[in-house]
Amino acid sequence: MDKRESIRILEDAKSVLTQYIERHGLRKTQERYAILEAAYNFNGSFSIEELSDALKPTCQVTYPTLYRTLGLFVTLGLVIRHTHHAVQCYEKCFGVKTFFQMVCVHCGKVIPFKSVVLMEALRDTKYPRFRPNNTTVCVYGSCTQCNTRMSREQKKLDRQRVLQEKKSQLLKEERLKRQVESRRKRREEARQQNEQNEEGKDD
Ligand SMILES: [Zn+2]
């Protein structure tokens, strides 16, 4: 998307917000527009912390205000919200009709992808008594970094398990050896005792 197109989309998004504010007789605070602008400056998804950081140089907005305002933007169709486990992120969506995203369920990373097949399937889908505005297709899974990390962790666990098994096998063998030895000793003692008894009788 070129810069002019981005500016046009932001202006359209702002006018959606203005219409809402006027319809509900709300005050036209600059805060909401600043948040909208900051949200639209992100290419791709962002967390509430990232948005707060981006706003810091220009205006201080509290987290409750950010959550409330982003909630309003979601209702107005200006941003979409992804929630994966505890990770919540947002993304501008006005002027973008279809989102194809791969979402990592472990770290919450959102990676956009393209699919002509899905695009055509969505276009040909009938929506009974419903007019869709925009569509989000989320494919949940695990990203390369998380896969690498998890397989490393799994290998470590496997190694630890093998070591633990070897150790307990050794302990078992030691115990057995000790048992055999003490049985042998007892038998030897009994034999000697027996011999002494026999000798006693002979005397
Ligand atoms: Zn991941």
Rounded (to 5) percent helix, strand, coil in the chain: 60, 15, 25
**What pLDDT is recorded for position 110?**
80
Closest CA to 110 of 79, 134, 131, 132: 79
| Cα–ligand 1 centroid distance for 115 (angstroms) | 21
Percentage above 70 pLDDT, the chain: 96
| Cα–ligand 1 centroid distance for 103 (angstroms) | 8
| Cα–ligand 1 centroid distance for 152 (angstroms) | 14
194 and 98, same structural domain? no
**What pLDDT is recorded for position 85?**
62
The single residue listed with the structure tokens 């959550």 is 67
| Cα–ligand 1 centroid distance for 88 (angstroms) | 14
196 and 130, same structural domain? no
| Cα–ligand 1 centroid distance for 97 (angstroms) | 26
- In this predicted structure, the answer to whether residue 23 has a pLDDT above a threshold of 70 is yes
| Cα–ligand 1 centroid distance for 151 (angstroms) | 13
Q: Other CB atoms closer than 10 Å to residue 83's CB: what's the count?
A: 10
Mean pLDDT of 157-164: 96
How confident is residue 15, by pLDDT bands cut at 50, 70 and 90?
very high
Q: What is the pLDDT of residues 52-100, one digit of tens each?
A: 999 998 888 999 999 999 999 988 889 988 776 667 888 888 877 777 8
CATH of the domain at 84: 1.10.10.10
Take residue 10 and report the two structure tokens written for it: 């932001």
156 and 189, same structural domain? yes
What is the domain range of residue 26? 3-142
3-state class of 90 per DSSP? strand
